[in-house]
Chain A
C-alpha cells in the first residue's frame, strides 16, 4: 500500500515492522514517543510490547500499568480501539540478566553460584552499566517469545544512545575464550601455551597492583562462575545483532527543536548508517510544527473591563509568537528531511509532558494519520 504524500512515514512502520527502536538525546520525550509508537501499532490491530527504561511515573499511570512490575503489564482493553493489544514493561536489568543466566546455565545450582558471587553482587547495583547489556537481551527475548507482533524499545538514556548495541559486542569480545582465559584461574580450557601464560602474567601483575592483591582471584571466581555460559552468551549477542540489522527492524531517531538535541540526532543517524542499522527517519517531538486544527483566539466573548484592551493585545502577541515558533519548527522539520534524503514527521504539541491516555492517543494519531505539516 502506497501512502499519500501527507501520511507520516511512521504509519507504514507501525503496521509492518517487528522491532522498532527509538533513539535520541535525553529530554526529547523519547519514552513518550516510544509509548505512542506502540499505541499507534496497537490501534492498527497488532499485539505490541513497549519496553521502556525510565518511564515517568505519570506515563505508567496514563497507561494504567504498575511502574515496577516483574513482567509486562497489559493496558486495559477498554482504553484501546482497533482490536490490538498493548503491553508495557519497565526494563529491570537484574530480572533480565538473571533470567538469561538461568536459561543458559546447565544447572540451577550453577546459576545460583554465579549469581551469589561477591563481585557480581557488587556490580549488579551499578544499574547504569547493566541497562545497556540487558536492553538488547530483553528485546530479543520478547521478540522470539512469539507473544508480540511488534516490540518497541526505548533506548537507555545514555549520551551515546547506541551504547546498548555496542554493549553485547563488547561483552562478546571480552567473552572470547582466549581473552577470558587470561582472567581464569586455570586458563579456561582453550587457552594454553607460552603466549597466554605471559599474557596472564602481565594481566595478573597489573591487576594485583592496581586493584589490590587478591582481586584477580575474585575476578577469576566471578568469571569461573559464569564460564560454560560464555559461548551461549556470545552466540546470543550475534543473534541480537542479526535481528537488529535485519529487514524486520527499524530505528527511529526522536528529537526536539533544541539545537543540541538536533546535533545529537544527526550524529545518531550517521552512526546508525555507519553500523548498517536500518535508520527509518526522524520524529520531531515537542515542537510547534504540527499546526492542524489550530485557530487564532476568538476574543468576541471577552468581558468588558478596564484591563480588556491590554489583555487581548497581549494575548494576540502570544498568538503571534506561537505562529513564529510554528514557522521556525516547520523549517526545522524540512531541514531534518534533508532535501528528501531522510523521512521526518512532527508530533502534535501537547504542552506539558503527557497527562493521560487521551494525550497519548493524540500523539499516536499524529503518527498514523495524514496531516499536512505545512500550513
Chain B
C-alpha cells in the first residue's frame, strides 16, 4: 500500500509543467506553454462594431487577421486604455489571440501542486479556469485555452 503511494507520488513529482504567467491588473493567471504559438507585444487591436462582448478586436498576425479575446472583458474587469500584449493561442488547429495587460515570466510548476476549481467559484469564471497551482505565497489560476476559443465562447 505504502509502496503504491510512493510510486504515484514519484510520478506526480516528475510531471513538471511549464506555465506562462500573464498579468491582468493586480492578478496573475497562468497559460500552459504548449498552447502558446507566439507572444505579440504592444498591439492595438482594431475594434469590431457589433461583435460579441468578449471580442477584443482584430490584430494583424503574420499576414493573417486574428480575432482576439479580451480577458478583461471576459472577467468583467474595467477596460484600460493603451496597448496590450497578445498571446497567440492555438486550439483545434485554429489560432486566436488573448489580450492581457502584460506577459510575465515562464514558471515551472509541479502538477502535484495543482488543484481543481473550488466548487464555490462562480459559474461564469469556473467555465474559464482550469484549476490553480499552489505556489509559495500565492495561487496561480490557470486559464484553459480550449475554453477561451472565441468560437466556443460564441456557442
Question: Is the pairing of A and B real?
Answer: no
Which A residues form the contact surface with B (CB < 8 A)?
Answer: none
